[in-house]
């Protein structure tokens, strides 16, 4: 019973972790995340460089030890030859004591030679392995350095794309606010335009109806009658002042029906002339 509960708690914890990561990635600033990724890549490159430096240092130390061992081997070889020669000379001279001493010294040197030769072989193997590891470390650092430079260049490109995306999002938001319905309290530009056009069209329609209706014609007749009365009163005043009978007669004349309606009077047709009669030519009876 305990094991299923533990599995359930682990699954639930993983679910919470994954959900938290998703929400964090949605809210996180891409620019900051990009900086974090580049910083991590730079840190990895520094760590790799330090590791490669340690490998190269081991290779250099192995080479130094190998060189010292080879120098020691060469010196021991020389001492062993010299001891053998000196033992041979002492034996020829009849000095058996020195001959034995030189012989024992040569044997001791020979034992040292065996030890140093084994050390040299081991160091040669270690030097070969460390050299290969050093070359691999150098190649890894070089390759990782190229990848880091590529990431740095890609970082600039991504930052530029991020700025373009932000600008495009702002433009999309502005365009959406102009076309979408904002709410009852804040009408959109389309709603205001439709309302104004509706009122304008209604006003134009009422104006046209008033111009062609009977009430409109009656209003025109009433205005014309008022104008006629005003002209008659003006003519009377001019007559009292003795400003001219012709002017008074012309101004006191009543308006014609065409003047009342505002229409132009028809122009009179021209009189037709009689056709000329044909006369006989002179000299004929």
pLDDT tier at 54 (50, 70, 90 boundaries)? very high
pTM score: 0.47
Q: Report pLDDT digits (tens) over 136-157.
A: 999 999 999 898 888 888 888 8
Largest CA distance in the chain: 207
DSSP H stretches of helix in the chain: 2-27, 30-92, 96-179, 189-212, 214-240, 245-252, 257-261
Q: How does the average pLDDT of the chain come out, rounded?
A: 77
pLDDT at 67 over 90: yes
Name which of 92-106, 120-134, 151-165, 213-227 the model is least confident about.
213-227
pLDDT at 78: 92
pLDDT at 258 over 50: no
pLDDT at 278: 43
Cα 161 to Cα 181: distance, rounded to the nearest angstrom? 31
C-alpha to C-alpha distances, 147 to 55, 150, 195, 266, nearest whole angstrom: 21, 5, 62, 98
| Count of other CB atoms within 10 angstroms of residue 63 | 16
pLDDT at 4 over 80: no
Q: What is the DSSP secondary structure assignment for residue 269, as one 8-state letter?
A: P
Is the distance from CB of 56 to CB of 137 less than 8 angstroms? yes
Q: Report pLDDT digits (tens) over 9-19.
A: 777 677 667 66
How many Å separate Cα 177 from the centre of its chain? 21
pLDDT at 180 over 60: no
pLDDT tier at 284 (50, 70, 90 boundaries)? very low
């Amino acid at each position: 019973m305990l094991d299923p509960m533990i599995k359930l708690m682990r699954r639930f914890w993983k679910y919470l972790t994954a959900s938290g990561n998703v929400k964090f990635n949605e809210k996180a600033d891409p620019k900051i995340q990009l900086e974090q990724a580049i910083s991590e890549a730079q840190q990895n490159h520094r760590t790799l460089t330090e590791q490669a430096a340690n490998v190269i240092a081991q290779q250099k130390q192995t080479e130094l030890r190998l060189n010292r061992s080879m120098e020691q081997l060469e010196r021991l070889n020389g001492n062993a030859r010299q001891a053998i020669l000196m033992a041979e000379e002492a034996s020829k001279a009849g000095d058996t004591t020195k001959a034995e001493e030189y012989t024992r010294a040569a044997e001791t040197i020979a034992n040292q030679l065996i030890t140093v030769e084994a050390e040299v072989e081991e160091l040669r193997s270690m030097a070969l392995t460390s050299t290969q590891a050093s070359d691999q470390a150098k190649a890894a650092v070089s390759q990782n350095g190229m990848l880091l430079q590529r990431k740095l260049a890609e970082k600039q490109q991504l930052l530029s794309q991020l700025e373009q995306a932000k600008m495009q999002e702002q433009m999309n938001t502005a365009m959406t606010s102009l076309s979408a319905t904002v709410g009852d309290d804040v009408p959109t530009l389309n709603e205001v335009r439709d309302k104004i056009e509706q009122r304008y069209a209604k006003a134009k329609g009422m104006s046209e109806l008033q111009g062609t209706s009977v009430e409109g014609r009656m209003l025109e007749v009433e205005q014309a009658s008022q104008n006629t009365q005003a002209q008659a009163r003006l003519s009377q005043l001019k007559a009292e002042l003795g400003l001219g009978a012709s002017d008074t007669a012309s101004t006191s004349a009543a308006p014609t029906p065409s003047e009342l309606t505002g229409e132009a009077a028809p122009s009179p047709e021209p009189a037709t002339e009689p056709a000329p009669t044909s006369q006989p030519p002179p000299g004929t009876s």
